[in-house]
Copies of this chain bind each other. A is one copy, B any other.
Amino acid sequence: MGLKVCKFGGSSVADFERIRAVASRIADMKYNGDDVVMVVSAMGDTTDDLLALSAQISPKNNKRELDFLMATGEQQSAAYMAMMLNSLDVPALSMTCFQAGIGCDGEYGRASLSFIDPARIQDEISKGKVVVVAGFQGIMPNGDVATLGRGGSDTSAIALAAALGADECLIFTDVDGVYTTDPRIVKTASKLEGITHEEMLELAALGAQVMNPRAVECALQNGVSFEVRNSHNREKGTLVTSADRLEGTRVISGISRDNNVAKIAIFDVPDEPGIAGKIFRAIASKGVVVDMVIQSAVRGKSNDIAFTVTRDQLERAVNVVNSLVDSLGASGMSYGKGVSKVSVVGAGVMNPGVAGDVFQTMADNGINIEMISTSEIKISMIIEASCAERAVAALHRQFRLENVH
């Protein structure tokens, strides 16, 4: 018994049948004496449908107006969910950000939560009601509605769990939890019982599709533990929490792959102070986010500099670099989309021998590593995209992840 914050994504509330199943699950929680605050996404493809409709008006609509439109998707699913709960004799009411007291700031379309004033929610909980909050949205300082961007409903749920001091935060999705790697690539992938925020963050950021990294960051910052569960069954999922609340430590928790990668190389950049800063400031000024960067060891008086961006930002980055090559005195550039990033994630990744095992495994499988970057809990490699699935499978075997939990 306690207060549960439960978030249900779009596929979990895709139609009235699914909404009924979810409502029935919440009814059981209430029956067991729990208080429940739900956070719901828009039903199924609603958000994409609204985007497609608005694109008929103009391909480049004002982001503020898009947010006003998108916000209605979550409002509708919240209202339907409250109605469904009422029809099961569970007292419930829906709330948008205006009633739930959820504030945000930043840019329309990808605003950040700035405050939560949960007074009204707490009042309704104390009256025995299930509160259904429209996720993905907040009130801007000027009183507008803004959306939090993709994955925003997860963030809404985690921030609400923090503000309400909830006993549990459950993120319901359409997978059973967090796996050691993508089960569609490696059949023997294991579901993890627990994982640290940091590990989850690397897995999320590196292309494991379970959760958006912003939501995991929010949980890390606020010390919120949450469990990723499947809304289609009643199995235990994966608990994402701090290291000190997990029993034991695994060396490696998972292998992830990210195909949304493109690389750019600039050849023979003169070895002068400040030249890297010049390049990457120019790129950043166009809104391009650079991921991995490597600079080769000095070969005489010049270096090659290579870096990666997401594929949709490649064209913009190439334009910037093209316009710089001459003024930098570089000899030329190349770029390509045919690469993937494969990463080994785990608290023990910096243990002696792990990096060696990783690189040897790649060599044993005849896979060339083009770029390497490391952090405290991951080793990432850029390789040819056609080798990525083979690399993931080989690393999964190497670290015996089929039996991890």
List chain A positions with a Cβ less than 8 A from chain B. Answer: 16, 19, 50, 53-54, 56-58, 61-62, 64-66, 68-69, 71-72, 75-76, 78-80, 82-84, 86-87, 93-94, 96, 98-99, 120, 139, 142-145
Contact = CB atoms under 8 A, between A and B. Distances in A.
B83 A76 contact: no
B99 A80 contact: no
B79 A69 contact: yes
Contacts of A87: 57-58, 61
A120 B93 contact: no
Given A16-B57, A57-B83, A72 B76 contact: yes
Contacts of A65: 79, 82-83, 86, 93-94
Most B C-beta atoms less than 10 A away, residue of A19, A56, A80: A80
A142 B98 CA distance: 11
21 contacts: A16-B56, A16-B57, A19-B57, A50-B76, A54-B79, A54-B80, A57-B84, A58-B83, A58-B84, A65-B79, A65-B94, A66-B79, A68-B75, A68-B82, A68-B94, A69-B75, A69-B76, A72-B79, A98-B143, A98-B145, A99-B143
Contacts of A120: 142-143
Contacts of A143: 98-99, 120
A62 to B, nearest CB: 5
Contacts of A75: 68-69, 71-72, 75
Contact of A99 (B62, B84, B144): B144
Contact of A68 (B58, B64, B78, B86): B78
Given A61-B86, A65-B86, A68-B79, 8 more contacts: A19-B57, A54-B79, A57-B84, A65-B79, A65-B82, A68-B78, A96-B145, A98-B145
A144 to B, nearest CB: 6
A68 B93 CA distance: 10
Nearest to A80: B57
Contacts of A79: 54, 65-66, 68-69, 72
